[in-house]
């Protein structure tokens, strides 16, 4: 049997999260119960770009996924007219929210122990809306920022920020809903660097080792890209491609591209991302060559 989900308590509250309610947080009462398009339009009204995912899944319904996210109400209505049962996704990172994704992996573990440590460290004081995910995890919303998305797999935590997205209520995956369980406006953002320092001070070390990749280590970059999960794949590909270019191993980009394709990224998106990494490397070389 999988481990039970703890009844998490939060700063300033003397009881567990209540059932969904209306207010000034994620959505007003008018949107609750009125279908994904109403929720999508309300998110757009507060400046959060949204896009549709295929019904019952986390897979984008549009060609470019979160890159297609918009606050344009006409486009949003057109999408849901075409796909009335589509799930709702919110592009994370400013102008959208940042989201701490607390995973629940059954017998493999969950992120609630780590979450309790973050609470004790005072890092959750700025939390806004909280959503229960279909398999017992949580999405905790914070004010959006320009931080990169990140992961702490050992602690079952993901950070959805720039270049990511989250599926939102009233979407369903595997027949189970995303449920709004706390309604509030985030008072500020969450520092992912502070989270990392609190939970896993050594987490940055593998990346520093990869930056110094040698000819025999290129496969490690590709293997790392191949393990990237949805929501972090494009940002991770860009990071790995930049590392390869910086270490003078642009010939390894084909191997890294193949790894990205194995995660489900499209060929055009892979090509654009790798081209961006090449251009970044060229600009850096030009700056270094300038007296």
Q: Rounded to an integer, what distance in angstroms lies between the CA atom of residue 96 and that of residue 160?
A: 10
The total number of structural domains in the chain stands at: 2
Please state the pTM of the whole predicted model: 0.64
160 lies in the same domain as 49: yes
Q: C-alpha distances in angstroms, 167 versus 149, 184, 235? A: 15, 18, 18
78 lies in the same domain as 181: yes
50 lies in the same domain as 174: yes
Q: Rounded to an integer, what distance in angstroms lies between the CA atom of residue 132 and that of residue 182?
A: 9
Q: Tell me, what's the pLDDT at 167?
A: 97
Neighbours of 102 (CB within 10 A): 25
156 lies in the same domain as 272: no
133 lies in the same domain as 266: no
Q: Tell me, what's the pLDDT at 250?
A: 73
126 lies in the same domain as 193: yes
**Six-digit token string for 85:** 């049962």
Q: Tell me, what's the pLDDT at 14?
A: 29
| Domain end marker among 171, 199, 227 | 199
In a domain, 15, yes or no: no
In a domain, 108, yes or no: yes
Question: Which among 149, 146, 158 is positioned nearest to 100, based on CA atoms?
Answer: 158
Phi, psi dihedral angles at 87 (to 5 degrees): -75, 160
Domain residues for 186? 36-199
64 lies in the same domain as 190: yes
In a domain, 52, yes or no: yes
| Domain end marker among 199, 227, 259 | 199
> How crowded is the C-beta side of 231, counted as CA atoms within 13 Å?
23
Q: Tell me, what's the pLDDT at 210?
A: 44
In a domain, 10, yes or no: no
* Distance from the first to the final alpha carbon of the chain: 65
41 lies in the same domain as 177: yes
Q: Tell me, what's the pLDDT at 106?
A: 87
DSSP secondary structure of the chain: -PPPPP----TT-SS---S---SSSS--TTTTTS-HHHHHHHHHHTT--EEEE-TTSSSBSSTTGGGG-B--HHHHHHHHHH-TTPEEEEE-STTS-EEEEE-B-GGG-BSHHHHHHHHHTTTTTT---EEE-TTS-EEEEE---SPBPEEEGGGTEEEE-BT-EEEETT-EETTEE-EEEE----SS---HHHHHHHH-TTTTHHHHHHHT--GGGHHHHHHHHHTPPTTTHHHHHHHHHHHHHHTT-GGGHHHHHHHHHHTT--HHHHHHHHHHHHHHHHHHHHHHH--
In a domain, 161, yes or no: yes
Q: Tell me, what's the pLDDT at 15?
A: 31
| Positions of the chain with pLDDT lower than 50, given as ranges | 1-25, 28-33, 204-216, 287-291
195 lies in the same domain as 209: no
52 lies in the same domain as 173: yes
Q: Rounded to an integer, what distance in angstroms lies between the CA atom of residue 158 and that of residue 192?
A: 10
96 lies in the same domain as 77: yes
In a domain, 221, yes or no: yes
In a domain, 149, yes or no: yes
214 lies in the same domain as 195: no
Q: Tell me, what's the pLDDT at 103?
A: 95
| Domain end marker among 147, 176, 199 | 199
Q: Which residue has the tokens 């990346």?
A: 207
In a domain, 277, yes or no: yes
CATH number, domain containing residue 132: 3.30.2250
């Amino acid at each position: 049997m999988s481990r039970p989900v703890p009844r998490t308590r939060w700063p300033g509250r003397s009881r567990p999260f209540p059932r969904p309610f209306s207010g000034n947080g994620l959505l007003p009462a008018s949107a609750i119960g009125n279908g994904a398009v109403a929720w999508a339009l309300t998110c757009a009204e507060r400046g959060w770009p949204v896009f549709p995912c295929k019904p019952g899944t986390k897979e984008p319904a549009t060609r470019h996924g979160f890159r297609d996210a918009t606050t344009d109400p006409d486009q949003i209505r057109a999408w849901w007219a075409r796909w009335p049962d589509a799930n709702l996704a919110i592009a994370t990172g400013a102008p959208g929210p940042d989201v701490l994704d607390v995973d629940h992996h059954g017998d493999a573990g969950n992120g609630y122990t780590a979450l309790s440590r973050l609470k004790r460290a005072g890092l959750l004081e700025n939390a806004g809306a909280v959503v229960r995910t279909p398999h017992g995890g949580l999405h905790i919303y914070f004010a959006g920022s320009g931080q990169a998305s990140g992961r702490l797999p050992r602690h079952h935590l993901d950070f959805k920020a720039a270049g990511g997205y989250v599926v939102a209520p009233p979407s369903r995956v595997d027949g189970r809903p995303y449920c709004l369980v706390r309604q509030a406006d985030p008072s500020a953002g969450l520092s992912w660097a502070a989270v990392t320092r609190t939970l896993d001070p050594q987490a940055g070390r593998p990346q520093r080792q990869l930056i110094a990749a040698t000819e025999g280590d290129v496969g490690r970059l590709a293997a790392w890209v191949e393990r990237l999960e949805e929501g972090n794949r494009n940002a991770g590909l860009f990071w790995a491609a930049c590392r390869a270019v910086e270490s003078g191993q642009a010939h390894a980009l084909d191997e890294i591209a193949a790894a990205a394709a194995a995660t489900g990224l499209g060929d055009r998106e892979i090509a654009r991302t790798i081209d961006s990494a090449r251009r970044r490397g060229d600009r850096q070389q030009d700056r270094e060559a300038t007296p």
